[in-house]
Structure 1
């Protein structure tokens, strides 16, 4: 009897253990096939890239004007001399991007909220926001930089600053706020009206609904577009060199005027690329992540 009970207990225990999933032979074949295809694609992509780069390099090096082109745009001596100067100026571009980015975020959010206000009593505010957005979206950014950076200091009014960096940053803020405001307004209007109705039914005021319910969802939805605008702002900060701001581009201009060599411009371009490419890749990653969240919910 004891042996029977022991064997019965053994049978029950084995039955209670969960079975470990094992892929079927067909699934294993499919996985092996997909692995071979990925390896084949990687090899083909690598070989084709090497071949294309080799052809481009051979064509450039064997071209008749390569020596003069190399000495004019890729001079190692000029690059070594220009790099510290351009790097110091690049910090000005980074400061402009950070300070103007904060100002643009605040002012564009105000404009977007003004454009979404309801009721006839808010018509003047909506009209102001519409006129502002239409005006600064229609004006070229360089034109605004010239008007504020050169025109306003020429008035010589007492109490107004004369620093071109201030007026150039203001021009960037005014122009970019118009574009960013439209991005934020699209995000606000993409939130379903039921979200507002549910918040108001819980006793939240209009301002509280906008702050705690609408804006968090709206900003998350348009975050990739906002990141792209930040990348554009970082590049367009170089336009301030046109009004005398000593940034990376201006430093490159100074060095080029002394050496009559354009390598300094290439150095400035490489430094800007080193800033924009990581930001662009992070934006792509975030956009893909948000896309997966939109399909499958929150991660």
Structure 2
């Protein structure tokens, strides 16, 4: 305990000496950490942040359904399903390789042009996130499914369960333990990437911060938006850490979840 307190004090002194007690800190504080501008910009940035939460809430559902479907198709057995597995593999390769911002541009500006219709930025953002993150999440789900020992699947089939019943009642409940930590990490990444929907013309937290910054000639609104995203992510990060530690403890003691 004393060692922890001492190391914390040393770290605080180093931060003060190398950051706070420097000639340029006053200018940085004025440009990025201005309390007056932060309070003034908070209402608009908060309204934009609510839009980000809308996109995130819908995307969690659409990504979950799409990823589960893709993982199920990727794990189909038999040579007759090879074309399906190949198409799903190509999809996951493409959207895991493309940067999300490029996907957002393609969806946000290409899709309305093809359809010759105006699509609300909310649904464009949801579609871009779903296409990208369903590729990542489906691979996590597939890895969890394949981590279940084949004997479990064979035993279920011997009892007369079909493919869907085996997947739902036997495989997925066991795979969920393996999948949860990486799925939480993908969820945290998704929370950050919803901030990029501003390029689709939506007035979200980032765009609202940009508007406020252009009016005040100050970068503090961006810090306000960043703090909101951090506050959103912290509960998920702590929950992921707690579950990972709990899973490790139970596996080490040999008990079942």
TM-score bracket for the superposition, by shorter chain length: over 0.9
CA distance in 2, matches of 1:56, 1:291: 35
Partner of 1:298: 256
Alignment of 1:127-166 (within 5 A): 127-155=86-114, 157=116, 160-166=117-123
Q: How far apart are residue 51 of structure 1 and its match?
A: 2.4
- Among 48, 54, 69, the residue aligned to 1:89: 48
Higher relative contact order (Cα pairs below 8 Å, separated by 6+ residues): 2
Gaps of 5+ in 1: 1-41
Alignment of 1:100-249 (within 5 A): 100-155=59-114, 157=116, 160-249=117-206
**1:279 is aligned to 2:229:** no
Q: TM-score, normalised by structure 2?
A: 0.95
CA distance in 2, matches of 1:103, 1:78: 37
Q: How far apart are residue 203 of structure 1 and its match?
A: 1.7
Please identify the structure whose Cα radius of gyration is greater: 1
Q: How far apart are residue 292 of structure 1 and its match?
A: 2.1
Deviations 1:108-131 (A, max 9, x none): 111111111011221221121111
CA distance in 2, matches of 1:53, 1:150: 48
Q: How far apart are residue 155 of structure 1 and its match?
A: 3.7
Contact 2:55 2:125 in 1 (8 A): no
CA distance in 2, matches of 1:86, 1:187: 39
- Among 207, 220, 225, the residue aligned to 1:250: 207
**1:70 is aligned to 2:29:** yes
Q: How many residues are aligned here?
A: 256
CA distance in 2, matches of 1:223, 1:119: 28
CA separation of 1:156/1:189 partners in 2, compared to 1, >3 Å: closer, same or farther?
closer
